[in-house]
């Protein structure tokens, strides 16, 4: 039986200065393949010291990504479904 791949989404935060502890926790959750109650799993987090943050997530849909961020008390801008190079 073939599994249907879970869609991947990327969102951007223009000014989200994350403390090292938060980045470390997100990295550990990604490594552990932790999925939240909305079916969202962090794949990667790209950030810089200026607070520019891109989140790459597995999620059932864009609304799940928005709920994931809201539960963390974060505003979520545009959410875009992405695909990988094959």
Residue 81, φ and ψ in degrees, nearest 5: -75, 135
What are the pLDDT digits (tens) for 66-84?
Answer: 999 999 888 888 899 998 7
What pTM value is reported for the model?
0.84
Q: Is the pLDDT of residue 7 over 60?
A: yes
Q: Is 40 buried (19+), middle (13-18) or exposed (0-12) by CB count in 10 A?
A: buried
71: left (phi over 0), alpha (psi -120 to 50) or beta: alpha
What are the pLDDT digits (tens) for 19-71?
Answer: 888 888 888 988 999 999 999 999 998 988 888 889 999 999 999 999 999 99
């Amino acid at each position: 039986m073939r599994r249907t791949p879970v869609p991947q989404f990327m969102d951007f935060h223009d000014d989200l200065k994350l403390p090292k502890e938060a980045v470390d926790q997100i990295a550990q959750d990604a490594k552990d393949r932790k999925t939240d109650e909305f079916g969202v799993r962090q794949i990667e987090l790209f950030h810089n010291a200026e607070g520019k943050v891109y989140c790459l997530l597995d999620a059932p849909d864009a609304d799940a990504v928005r709920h994931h961020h809201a539960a963390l008390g974060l505003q979520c801008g545009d959410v875009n479904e992405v695909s990988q190079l094959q």
